[in-house]
Amino acid sequence: MSSVAVVTDTTNYLPRALADSQGIHQVSLYVGWGAAPVRELEMPNFDDFYSRLRTDPETPTTSQPSIGDFLAVWEPLLAAGQDIVSVHLAGGISGTCEAARQAREVLVERGQGERIEVLDGETACGGLGLLLLAGAATARAGGDMQAVVERVREARKALRIWFCLDTLEYLRRGGRIGKAQAWLGGTLKIKPILSLEYEIVPVERVRTAGRAFERMVQYMHELHDAGADGWVVQHIQAQDQAQRLIEHGRELYGSEPAFVSEVGPVIGTYTGPGLIGVGAIPRALLS
């Protein structure tokens, strides 16, 4: 067992088996309709959620973990003698990281807070997953808490990630549109390409799904040329497009992606079905 445990929230959407094998622990966010949101971590798959999202006029709600949720994951790790690096989705779109900081303050009062470092990943989904894999690799190699923190920060500086949406409608409905707000002045019938820094950042907009896919392939080439060869593909209910991106990536990089997965309901509430995403960091940071 390494001396440092890497903890995160469920918006990384790493394949569950991969997260478990890398020793990455997760605190669940909540999502659902009405007064009974469920823990995202306990959803066996996302198909039923997205089927309802397409047709239900009511927008589901999402909520961050409670302080108690963080403590329930952290305290057994501390008791086992591990320090903790807890990395979370961007503070510009969620209060999750702030809740983690508040949970850490509870443990500060108990004399254990110095054994926990909370980091705002300033990204989510595939980007967050790459940061976690980088940090977990350093932890398994015997790095101490500071070494893990430094690796995560190095990975964040190197990270480049784009995602393309089928429509801006879900961002508009959910109110998490960030700097892409200006695009709402025109038609919603565009294919927006965005990035995720501290908040959602518009990159460019195209008119057709075909052009959007072509632009994502071009972006993969840009990542490759920049030396970002630890690549990932994610999607929401868009397996065929994701598979085509994977095939392009295999040919371009000559390697398998670090992971491929579907983005879950907490983020999917605000992006909607049809998302495809590509991101990368230098593969050397993953080992």
What pLDDT is recorded for position 68?
Answer: 98
Do residues 149 and 243 both lie within one domain? no
**Could you tell me the pTM of the whole model?**
0.94
- Round to whole Å and give the CA distance between 175 and 177: 6
- Round to whole Å and give the CA distance between 215 and 191: 11
- 211, with CB counted inside 10 A (0-12, 13-18, 19+), is middle
What pLDDT is recorded for position 278?
Answer: 98
Tokens standing for residue 71: 């403590």
What pLDDT is recorded for position 36?
Answer: 81
Domain boundary pick from 98, 130, 157: 157
What pLDDT is recorded for position 256?
Answer: 97
What pLDDT is recorded for position 178?
Answer: 57
Longest dimension (CA), the chain: 56
Do residues 11 and 140 both lie within one domain? yes
Strand order in the sheet with 38-39: 38-39, 30-32, 61-63
Contacts of 35 (CB under 8 A, 6+ apart): none
What is the total residue count of the chain?
287
What pLDDT is recorded for position 180?
Answer: 53
The CATH code of the domain that includes 207 is: 3.30.1180.10
What pLDDT is recorded for position 221?
Answer: 97
| Domains held by the chain: number | 2
What pLDDT is recorded for position 56?
Answer: 93
The CATH code of the domain that includes 69 is: 3.40.50.10170
Distance (Å) of CA 95 to CA 67, 86, 133: 12, 14, 23
Do residues 108 and 249 both lie within one domain? no
Tokens standing for residue 239: 């397996």
Model confidence pLDDT, tens digit, residues 242-281: 999 999 999 999 999 999 999 999 999 999 999 999 999 9
Tokens standing for residue 207: 């008119």
Do residues 257 and 223 both lie within one domain? yes
Given a cut of 70, the residues of the chain with pLDDT beneath it are: 174-188
What pLDDT is recorded for position 78?
Answer: 97
Q: How far apart are the first and last CA of the chain?
A: 17
Contacts of 229 (CB under 8 A, 6+ apart): 223, 253, 255, 280, 282, 283
Do residues 66 and 37 both lie within one domain? yes
- Round to whole Å and give the CA distance between 159 and 143: 21
Q: Mark 224-245 as b/e (b = at least 16 C-beta within 10 Å).
A: beeebbbbbbbbbbbeebbebb
Domain boundary pick from 107, 131, 157: 157
